[in-house]
Amino acid sequence: MSYHFNMITRRNTLMAPAYVLPAIGAACSEHPFELPGPQRAALAIERASPSLDRRLAALGANLGDPVFIRAYKQEKRLDLYVQPGRTGRFVEFASWPICAASGFVGPKKAEGDKQVPEGVYGVTAEALNNASSYHLSMNVGYPNAFDQSLGRTGSFIMIHGRCESIGCLAMTDPVIEDIWTLVSAAHREGQTKVDVHILPFVLNEKALEGYAQSEHLAFWADLMAIQNAFNSEGVPPVITANSGRYVVAG
């Protein structure tokens, strides 16, 4: 069985034993003093845009150029890349600490397992939630078709603010405002989906040697091929899946 993922195209387009990511706070809580969603998003964009404009200009880029997100669970790091002028290689724009997450390295398999997923995901314009209990949030699209083919369950896996979460990637409020502004601007300028790759750790042969007996070894080897394809080509690769494996097309 083979199928394609809904991703932007090329044109738009450690070794450590049982490392645990700490969970901070509860899964969900309401914040009644938050502004209504549209006002909240508008103010976030107003606050973030001047600094983002200056930083983007230094790269020859503009707000609205395509972006790409890659997160590493073990390193607790989220990197955002931008494609200056909407052509050619994506370049690194920023690298932020992930403020809170939960679980171990390894993919999310079931609702309630408190795992952050691993794999190839994406944020559409419809996935942006300006009325989130976590200030601002964006749904990464777990479970995707690949996850569903393996019987994995779960829902509402987000990148969001508030620095508290179980199963999501939580950032500080100023950082989520930067991410929101960049992603929403890219959507407005025509990027239909912002690719989000979530990896267990920075993948290389030496790192994988420490997991030679892991049930996830083949899965991580496939993710390493995806990671390396982006590193080599500078654009998010087109990914297909076949028989429960991710495959870099071409």
**Would you name the residues annotated as active-site residues?**
160, 168
Separation of alpha carbons 70 and 79, rounded Å? 5
216 neighbors 107 (Cβ within 8 angstroms): yes
Q: What is the DSSP string of 31-73?
A: -TTSPPHHHHHHHHHHHHHHHHHHHHHTTT--TTS-EEEEEET
Write the Ramachandran bin of 167: left for phi over 0, alpha for psi from -120 to 50, otherwise beta. Answer: left
Phi, psi of 68 (to 5 degrees): -145, 140
186 neighbors 66 (Cβ within 8 angstroms): yes
Q: Is 156 helix (H, G, I), strand (E, B) or coil?
A: coil
My answer on whether omega of the bond before 97 falls inside 30° of 0, hence cis, is no
